[in-house]
Amino acid sequence: MSDSTSDRVTYDDVAAAGLDDWRMLVTGIHARFRTGSFAAGVRLVDAIGAAADEADHHPDVTLTYPRVDVALVSHDVGRVTDRDLALARRISEIAAEQGLTADPSGLQQLELGLDSPDQSAVLPFWRELLAFRAGDDDITDPHGRLPAVWFQESGSDEPRQRWHLDVWVPGDQVQARIDAVVAGGGRLVAEYPEHSFWVLEDAQGNRSCVCTAQGR
């Protein structure tokens, strides 16, 4: 298994660890627990907080009615490590002890992509407009609440549509999401399973991608 400071934990590592409640998306591993009530959600969050303090490793937790979403990534190294897998296992144990079940089918993350022939010319504008933090080819919310924006290199002939959505779903949900989009009037226009993304367009030709961390 991966060392917390060197090897990168992969989608397959999460599955091999027996973490059935969890899925790797674009950033970190994620779980959603059905609570059924706000009070049950509070109890779960309180127990997760105690486990996180004990491990000295802290997840991002979102409490809503009727669910609790948990995301784990080792922020100090910017990727998933064994510390995340260990805490994920403990959080699943806590949820099971409280009689709560996970719903991985609803997990997803959203990224915004901007096609640009020269990202350096536009990245500062979007960074300042959104008050985001800049990376090599993307900008991110320093508070982790809003979707990241990444800049995809394009040719000098700018396409009609420059913005697109990247919708990240678990690998076992890709086909179901594609089928639902097609049933909703969309069309699958390109498949890149070797790169783990599929391009779909609506009835007016606007394109977006379904992506997965599986295989990356």
CB atoms inside a 10 Å sphere around CB 92: 20
Q: What is the pLDDT of residue 4?
A: 44
Q: Tell me, which fold does domain 109-211 have in CATH?
A: 2,3-Dihydroxybiphenyl 1,2-Dioxygenase; domain 1 (3.10.180)
User: What's the CATH superfamily of 11-106?
Assistant: Transcriptional coactivator/pterin dehydratase (3.30.1360.20)
**Residue 6: predicted pLDDT:** 47
Which pLDDT tens digits describe the chain residue by residue (216 residues)? 444 444 789 999 999 999 999 999 999 999 999 999 999 999 999 999 999 999 999 999 999 999 999 999 998 998 999 999 999 999 999 999 999 999 999 999 999 999 988 899 999 999 999 999 998 899 999 998 999 999 998 877 665 688 999 999 999 999 999 999 999 999 999 999 999 999 999 998 999 999 999 998
Domain map (residue ranges) of the chain: 11-106, 109-211
- 11-106 and 109-211 in the same fold: no
3-class DSSP string for 73-104: CECCCCECCHHHHHHHHHHHHHHHHCCCEECH
The 163-168 sheet, strands edge to edge: 133-134, 138-140, 149-153, 109-116, 163-168, 207-211, 197-201, 187-192
Q: What is the pLDDT of residue 158?
A: 60
For tokens 């090599």, the residue is: 136
The secondary structure of the chain as a DSSP string is ---TTSSPP-HHHHHHTT-TT-EE-SSSEEEEEE-SSHHHHHHHHHHHHHHHHHHT---EEEEETTEEEEEE-BTTTTB--HHHHHHHHHHHHHHHHTT-EE-GGG--EEEEEEEES-HHHHHHHHHHHHTPEE-SSEEE-TTS-S--EEEEE--SS--S--EEEEEE--GGGHHHHHHHHHHTT-EEEEEEGGGTEEEEE-TT--EEEEE-STT-
What's the confidence (pLDDT) of residue 186?
Answer: 97
Confidence at residue 8, expressed as pLDDT on a 0 to 100 scale:
81
